[in-house]
Structure 1
Amino acid sequence: MNELCVWVSKKPSGTLSREQGEYLFNYSSLSASDAVSLTMPVRNKSYVSESLFPIFEMHLPEGYLLAVIKKHFSKLTATDDFGLLSLLSDKVVGRLSYAEEVTQENALSLDEILHSAEENLFSSLVERFALSSPVSGVQPKVLALLQDKATLQFSHYIVKSWGTDYPDLALNEWLCMKTLEQAGLDVPEFYLSDDEACFVMKRFDITEQGDYLGFEDFCVLQAKPRDEKYTGSYEQLAKGIAIFVSPKYRKKALYDYFKAMVLNQWLQNGDAHLKNFGVVYSSATDIRLAPIYDVVSTTAYIKEDIQALTLLGSKRWRGQKHLERFAIEHCQLTLKQAKEAMQQCFEAMNWLNDEVDALQDKVAKNTSKEALLRHFKALITRVLKDVE
């Protein structure tokens, strides 16, 4: 297959094709609301690129999931970018899709994931949902249709696990995301399974009415392929937020972005790259900063890890004075607002300190979990010394 029909909000929008080593996208609709991306407005002229356009590349799996799919399907079909997109096309669910009707897998219960006693649950989920998981990121994850028993509603959730190289990664992410939540940041709905084997996050691009919002990460918005997600700076990201987010939401978006940056520093999240920030929108005039997602303390596993992008010209972790400067010069905040935002983050770190203390009282000695909790205690101590 060298051609895919692209649908926007369940209406045909255009055709993606590959010809003589080039990718082409042609609109069949001339309605501005049918644009496939904020960076690809509707026009008569073809879009042409030597590589897959970032908005479509966003649906391709990476890392673990990519390896699983290639292992099972490389003998049956091409597994280059266009081949992978074609393979997954009838499972892509969202504002953007590649079929009039999307094939849905039979749903599981959310409780089955959170309270399962099955030892190899994640492996079973991969077998069941691998081809229904057009999600990026190198961490082992699948996109699963789950039912909430309390509301009886079906929703898509991203279920993450980890390998032996990253023990207790689900707990790590849960602690980090709870800290962001405590700081008042908008985060997706998320859970930690009882056995702490899985981190479960609800998709945030679906409204309560079941309508799909547009979502684009900053690789797409900066017209960069996924391989360039570690290029650029947090200053450029702040500028991108100011450009793309609608004026009525811009002030809050930059304030929240600054808080996320503070906590990424304090928690030492070295994976806050361009694909881990984005916008959601219902129209070209209603664009918001997406909820903050995929935050983990990477120095728990890579002791000398650095930032994903540069901040004030360096990838070193930055202290209070540098962060205040970043807030004023690039996030359009006053010094008073910057200090207020940092105080909210500081209170969230105090919550994390209490939570880690409670967990340490119950954890067995000389385990990976104890090591992770000691790591968080060291981060908290450093923050307490740095913040005035």
Structure 2
Amino acid sequence: MTPFNHQKELQKIIQRYVAGTATAEEILFVEKYYQYLDKNANVLDGQNADELKEMAEANFMAIKSKIDLPQRKKIVPLYKYISAAAVLLLMSGIAFVFLNKSKPVIKSEIAVNKKLDVLPGTDKAILTLADGSKVVLDEHTSTDISDKDGLKISRTEDGQLVYTILDQGDLKTKSTVSYNTIQTPKGGQYQVILPDGTKVWLNAASSLKYPEVFTGNERRVELTGEAYFEVAKNKAKPFHVKNHNQDVEVLGTHFNINSYMDDNTIKTTLLEGSVRVSNGKSVRILKPGEQSVADGNGIIRLAAEVDTDDETAWKNGLFQFNNANLKSILSQLERWYDINIDYSSVPDKKYNGMVPRKAKLSEVLKMLEKTGNIRFEIVEGRNLKVLPEK
């Protein structure tokens, strides 16, 4: 059976489309592709997965080859007007995911439990200040959090915590270094702009400890969980991220660290610049597009293949699965939707797909049900069961 060679290209186009960075040509292509799938759903309904993959590949190239349209001055993306199910279809990038049109191969347990559906996570976190006081960061928090000793801490409306140095003189008179910690719960995410201008995106169930002001000849922070960093360049002050027993040293670069330890590994993925990853036993220098994987024995190796889009999709508002095993997918869902999962019946299967993190839990589970012989059930108390295969 011919492999779906163009799925990755389609996913990248759709990713730019949803992020608002697609070109006019790409926006027109996505709209035409969706319209084709929508128009021909009755024809595609009932086909098996392999046949639909082949049809998707053929139609993808047929539509793309015909697009030669002029730029439009103002384009309103189609996804603003179509249903959630249709958006999920677009994001999946696979023609055989028809949530609201195809006849299910198996009975959907999710549809039976709609009243128990779970909403996605939001921008929320808890900030612990140097004096031990805690500030809940959400849409109800005041935008002005602290303004003293030459340092202002504020919250923006779009989920950012911002540190602004107002008076270097006042800061230099402080005799000790004061630390703050920002922690996201399950079902939460947040962004931080540190005093040096470094930007940090925190994923769910993560925390970052950092000084209110970087002093001395280096900048050091401590991470648990997952975060994406855009480090402000300063050759005189290298930036260090400590997570577990690993140290990542940079001068100015973009990278992602996943240290959830679900599979007892720490993954560091470099997108731009250069980083040095070490833990006392191993050292690796990464180049853009490379990923280091540190295991429980302290050995750091380079991943054979890595797709940086997959590793950073969460930061761009997406779940993106490319040959991902089900357990790792469910771990992501558990953190983002703040649910409890019984892993005792999880089969050893791999999945492909792309879903917006703004989707309800049932929409993500429907995609998994439709792309594989598997069933789920949402039960009371935010619990998710993986049901035995039939």
Determine which structure has the larger strand proportion and give its number.
Answer: 2
Determine which structure has the larger helix proportion and give its number.
Answer: 1
Asked which structure has the greater CA Rg, the reply is 2
With structure 1 as the length reference, what TM-score do the two structures score? 0.27
